[in-house]
Amino acid sequence: MIRVGCCGFPVSMKRYFESFGLVEVNRTFYVFPRLETLAGWREKAPEGFEFTVKAHQDITHKAKMRANESSLEAFGRIREICEALKSRVLVFQTPGSFRPDRLGDVEAFFGHVDRGDLFLVWETRGTVWERPEVREKLGEILEKFDVTHVTDPFRVMPAYVGQVAYFRLHGLGERMYYYQFSDVELERLKELVSPYEEKGNDVYVLFNNLSMFVDGMRFVKYLSEGSFPKITGSTGLASVKEVLERTRYPASKSTLIRKVGWKLVEIEEGKQVRLGEVLAELPSKNFRSADEVLDLVKDLL
């Protein structure tokens, strides 16, 4: 089974619970919520809904995965949080500054903590982790402690996967998170993660981009029905207008590209383009309204 959700709640809990069966709780990276609050979340969630939990920064960013008093205390508190939410997956995410020369600390940490029944998964960040010799060493350590390697499958596949295969999607744009996935990309996503499902892994796909709610919902529909809903309510110029009207005017060309250029529009039925590709052809000037932009865009479509 492929489980799909978002990193955090991008909409109200009520609406989210009606739309997804999974969420990654990111709040636990910053604070330790009251257990009573988390028990309330568990009560509000429908039967079968699953919470995964992101480990606190005291472990990953402050202690840098060293097994010291602070990190071990934080791990104990995170375990209590997982119990309150009835979570079975705990997510570690280290920063881009965390280098492979710290793998010894990681090995000591995972060897020291009492995980109980939790599945532990770890997201490394940075291209240094993609080097063959680093991936080999990383895979050996992760396999030793049965800790799944978390990756964005569009960038790199995991060095090791246990029972749980866990993927976090941040987008493919120049700016992290500023991205919307096209139908073609979501089709490719299914191709990338389905082999793990076929092998019997429990597959988790977590969207972590600005359009994660919509992208996640579209992916859920594609998995269940084999088709995608429209990204916008219309096609052609009307689709462009729908997106352009989501920003304030007056706005310069560069502002429009920065704010809405990463979004997709339906140029025609089944054909999507990134709005920035269209806006790039406009003259550099300040636009007073969306209609003024559309007057120029219509000749480009």
Average the pLDDT over 204-209 and give the result: 98
Give 73-118 pLDDT, tens digit per residue. 999 999 999 999 999 999 999 999 999 999 999 999 999 999 999 9
Q: Is the pLDDT of residue 301 over 80?
A: no
| pLDDT, position 109 | 97
| pLDDT, position 52 | 98
Q: In sequence order, what are the beta bridge partners of 252? A: 286
Overall pTM surpassing 0.85 (yes/no): yes
| pLDDT, position 2 | 97
Give 256-269 pLDDT, tens digit per residue. 999 999 999 998 88
SS3 category, 1: coil
**Best CA proximity match to 93, nearest among 127, 133, 51, 65:** 65
| pLDDT, position 269 | 84
Specify the DSSP class assigned to residue 13.
H
**Would you tell me how many other CB atoms lie within 10 Å of the CB of residue 18?**
10
**Contact by Cβ (8 Å): 147, 122:** yes
Please give the single-letter amino acid code of residue 242: E
Query: How many residues would you count in the chain?
Result: 301
**Best CA proximity match to 23, nearest among 60, 40, 59, 48:** 48
Average the pLDDT over 54-69 and give the result: 97
| pLDDT, position 95 | 96
Domain boundaries, the chain: 2-225, 237-297
CATH homologous superfamily of domain 2-225?
Protein of unknown function UPF0759 (3.20.20.410)
| pLDDT, position 270 | 79
Q: Which residues contact 49 (CB under 8 A, 6 or more apart)?
A: 17, 21, 22, 23
> What average pLDDT does the structure give for the chain?
96
